[in-house]
Structure 1
Amino acid sequence: MTIALKSSLSWIDNNKEARERVLGLLSQFNEKESRDELGIGSIRDRISDLLFPGTSTIQTRLRYFLFVPWLYQEAQTKNLNNKESLEYIDQLERKLIVALMQSDDLDGVFGKSSGIALKRLPSSVYWFGLEKWGFKHKACSQADYFIYAKEVETKRAQLGKEIAYLQKRNDDFTEFQIEKNKLSLWHVSLPKPPADFPNSAHLKITNEEALFIKEQLREYCHESLFTYLALNSTYASSEDIDAPWDHPLFDDFDSATQHLLKHAEFFSRMIHGAYLLYNLLLAEQSLSPSNEDYEGKLGQWYQDLLERASNKFYCLDSWSFNDFWETIEKRQVSYVEPVMINTLTKKFIEMWFEILKLKDPNFYRSEKVRKLIREREKRLKGARSRFTNKKALAQWGGASGTNKLRYRWLTAKQFLKDLSDVEGV
């Protein structure tokens, strides 16, 4: 795997920001919900971004959205060069691990298992979410952050001299003061860290922090489901909900969100069978077959899918692919740019859908259907395909990509809990 990545990612060797973004995406493939054996990740992530912008499956607790800015602000005060600043940030993040491990709430602490030896630090996990939520004004990589920070400090110093000069002359310096106050890589109203941070820390947010987060969501992601739930619900209403489309407030969501959720649910149900079949094929080929009854699960899944046809929207005969692509690709919202899903991905999904529309309970026994799954995985994995590479097949754990898509709902639900469980309230 290392050789393949080295080859395929060589084009970003000299682009630090692109490299960080790509490696950040690759790291998510270790998450159960993020496994993308059949190449539907672009659809999954697009829907997730529309519903829960700024989140990812590897984020854990909401207060890290504040921890990261606080650590970077602390590093800025040391007046170090770029390399030294990045090294200092690394030290601060590991110090934070130690502090959090001494708190009462360890659920979701980065480094809870590996301690200060943790390889992927929280700043890289939350970095782009900080931009989406408007915490960080400058769209820059972590590697370049302190370069921009130096530029900001230089401009602030220049404005300070202008203000001092105007003060001596008793001239109005209001505009210069306003401009200086706005010159920051972070939002001007970002709450201040506790006095003993990061030597002491915990994951429970304060009332001030909760109000700031809600205001940022209202301003930067106001059309998202996450913002609606953050502003209009309590965690208790979401606690026992397995997927966002089952939320008891569904009828109160705006029509665009309801429509998106209906498509999200149908796609989740529809594509789940492709992953069950993928694992069935691996089980049949493997020398160490899984204990899972994938054939039985496929039969039950297909029966459930057909029973859903009583609802017109979810009916295999009437569900509109054109409307689905239009909904997820071109929806106009401020926090997500329009995208185009890969043509081959669309073709695979549409072929799978046409197979299901035949309503043959034994569809998965057809060699044509099995070939569709095998060829899709082989196209994506190449020499690492489990269907052609014995070593890769041997590493199959008996279940790969079999969790139903919930589009980062578990992350969003934890964040809603953190917003509800506010310190001092």
Structure 2
Amino acid sequence: MRDIIRLFSDRESRDELGLGQIRDALSDALFPGTSTLLTRARYLLFVPWAYQKAAGRPNPSADADRAERDVIHALKASGDYAGLLGMQAGEALKNLPSLIYWSMLRHYRILADESLSRADVLRFDGMPTGAADLGAAAPARFSAWSSELPPAPEGFPKTIPDGFRLSTDEAGWLRDRILNEAPGTLFAHFAIEQPSRESFAPWADPAIHGLGGDATQVLSDARAFSALMHGAQLIYNLLLAEEYEDAGYDRVTEPTSRFREQVADWGAELPSLVDLNTWNLDGMLARVELVRGTPIHFKTRAFVRDWFSLVQQSNPAALAGHEAARSFMERREREHKGAQARIGNRARLASWGGSSGAGALVYRWPQARGILLDIHDGLQRENGVVDA
């Protein structure tokens, strides 16, 4: 459970100002089927393999559970710990990889039928579908998984000598899943062009060279929205920092001066990140609603538009002392969080850790990049690049 709490506490998982609807839609457009809980690409194979092992047994649910927990021990034994779900909790892990990865397994048709639940797979996988055809030795059997799924390595799930390292065939198959099921997206582009291990955001990665089509517009919108709303996130944290210090708390060292400096830096850099006079905010919101399939909440839409206007009509670098901006952010927190708002709530300020969703939006980039790098590392194994 500690592993899951840690993942949910990631700065991009937090939604202090109610931007989640827009953030998640842009994330889905850039990296379809992903989430902030993903860690390693080979889980997309571990889960099907575990379920294949359990299917058809007297108690498939318990056997699948056991297989997923065996994977934890096998990965620990392999010495490959990065991204291991259950590294701390071990046998006590509550949310197994199948729960976390099921949506991605559906999206990329690793599951043969995306409507299948985990219970459906355990119930129907391997079940005879009817009488045997003439000349056939046995009746056909239902397969819950893609017929092209790479086979599990010998000894799985008790032993996984390669840990999270994909074989060349496994990596190629997963890359093809992305290219087939998410064509024209940034995810597909990076499946071909290897991203950097150090880039802090997708638009900052050298591999975006040559990106075209709709993905270019989505990435441009995502960068502009991140740049615009980062100022709101910083002002919000500045208000928290001031109240925190005024209340006499000192566990966090000098947060007010830190956030004042960050607001000034953001304001100075903003013009190089987005031209507020030419960027079509309403066009971006319309595209977000197409991705969502439902309208953005009217209060969220109003908040984003009003912040856009406030920044456009002000000197962004001086917003730390802008009374209208400060009052605007206080109202937004009360509107979004109600009784859970921190501003003006001494009891909640006491537990403030020095940052509440203050990081710029990067749209699941650390998670998506990790999946992509696993795939590229696997593709390179045939050349001995990562076999050392």
CA distance in 2, matches of 1:255, 1:284: 45
Supply the distance in 1 between the matched residues of 2:18 and 2:86 (Cα, whole angstroms).
30
Residue 129 of structure 1, aligned match among 104, 120, 129? 104
Match of 2:275 among 295, 315, 319: 315
Say which of 38, 45, 48 aligns to 2:17. 38
Q: Name the SS for the 2:114 alignment partner.
A: coil
**What CA distance in whole angstroms lies between the structure 2 residues aligned with 1:242 and 1:78?**
46
Asked whether the equivalents of residues 31 and 58 of structure 1 are also in contact (C-alpha less than 8 Å), the reply is: no
Please state how far the C-alpha of 1:207 moved relative to its aligned partner.
Answer: 1.2
The structural deviation recorded for 1:366 is 3.4
CA root-mean-square deviation: 2.5
Contact 2:230–2:358 (Cα < 8 Å) also in 1:
yes
In the alignment of these two chains, the number of paired residues is 368
Deviations 1:143-169 (A, max 9, x none): x53345434544x2x52x242xx23xx
* Equivalent in the alignment of 1:64: 43
**Aligned residue for 1:18?**
none
Q: Distance in 2 between matches of 1:248 and 1:421?
A: 18
The unaligned stretches of length 5 or more in structure 1 are 1-24, 168-172, 309-313, 332-336
Contact 1:260 1:328 in 2 (8 A): no
Partner of 1:387: 343
Please list the CA deviations of residues 160-186 of structure 1 after superposition, one character each: whole Å capped at 9, or x if unmatched: x242xx23xxxxx7xx98xx46x3211
Deviation of 1:388 (Å)? 4.3
Match of 2:190 in 1: 229
Q: Is the 8 A contact 2:263 2:319 kept in 1?
A: no
- Partner residue of 1:326? 286
Q: Residues 183-230 of structure 1: CA distance to partner in whole angstroms, max 9, x if unpaired?
A: 321111111101200101211011111121122112211122111221
Structure 1 stretch displaced more, 293-302 or 358-367: 358-367
Tell me how far 1:248 sits from its aligned partner.
2.4
Q: Which has the higher helix share?
A: 1
Percent identical across equivalent pairs? 33
2:356 equivalent to 1:400: yes
Structure-to-structure mapping, 1:3-402, within 5 angstroms: 29-80=8-59, 85-140=60-115, 144-147=117-120, 149-151=122-124, 153-154=126-127, 156=128, 158-159=129-130, 161-163=131-133, 166-167=134-135, 180=140, 183-201=142-160, 202-230=163-191, 232-234=192-194, 237-286=195-244, 287=247, 288=249, 290=252, 291-292=254-255, 293-308=258-273, 314-330=274-290, 338-360=293-315, 361-402=317-358
Contact 1:76 1:146 in 2 (8 A): no
Other-structure match for 1:334:
none
* Alpha-carbon shift at residue 355 of structure 1 (Å): 0.6
- Contact 1:278–1:373 (Cα < 8 Å) also in 2: yes
CA separation of 1:190 and 1:27: change in aligned 2, threshold 3 A: same
Cα deviation, residue 104, structure 1? 2.8
Distance in 2 (CA, whole Å) between partners of 1:343 and 1:196 is 54
Instruction: Return 5+ residue gaps in structure 2 as ranges.
Output: 384-388
Distance 1:241 1:362 in 2: 29
- Find the aligned partners of 1:148 and 1:62 in 2 and give their Cα distance: 21
Q: Give distance in 2, aligned partners of 1:206 and 1:77.
A: 28
Letter in 1 for 2:355: A
- Normalising by structure 2, we get a TM-score of 0.87
Q: What is the CA–CA distance in structure 1 between the aligned matches of 2:6 and 2:297, rounded to whole Å?
A: 22
Residues 1:152 and 1:109: Cα distance change in structure 2 (over 3 Å): closer
Q: Tell me if the contact between 2:40 and 2:370 (Cα under 8 Å) persists in the aligned partners.
A: yes
Distance 1:132 1:45 in 2: 16
Q: 1:57 corresponds to which letter in structure 2?
A: T
After alignment, is 411-420 or 270-279 more displaced? Answer: 411-420
What do the CA deviations read for 1:341-360 (whole angstroms, capped 9, x no partner)?
A: 21111110111111101133
In structure 2, distance between residues paired with 1:393 and 1:140: 44
Cα deviation digits, residues 379-425 of structure 1 (max 9, x gap): 22222111243332211101111111111111122122211222454
Mapped partners of 2:302, 2:361: distance in 1: 20
Letter in 2 for 1:197: F
SS in 2 for 1:252: coil
| Helix, strand or coil at the partner of 1:414 | helix
Distance in 1 (alpha carbons) for counterparts of 2:373 and 2:208: 18
Task: Provide the C-alpha distance between the structure 1 equivalents of 2:143 and 2:75, rounded to a whole number of angstroms.
Answer: 28
Which amino acid in structure 2 is aligned with residue 370 of structure 1?
Answer: R
What is the rounded CA distance, in whole Å, between the counterparts of 1:260 and 1:26 in structure 2? 30
- CA distance in 2: counterparts of 1:48 and 1:307, whole angstroms: 23
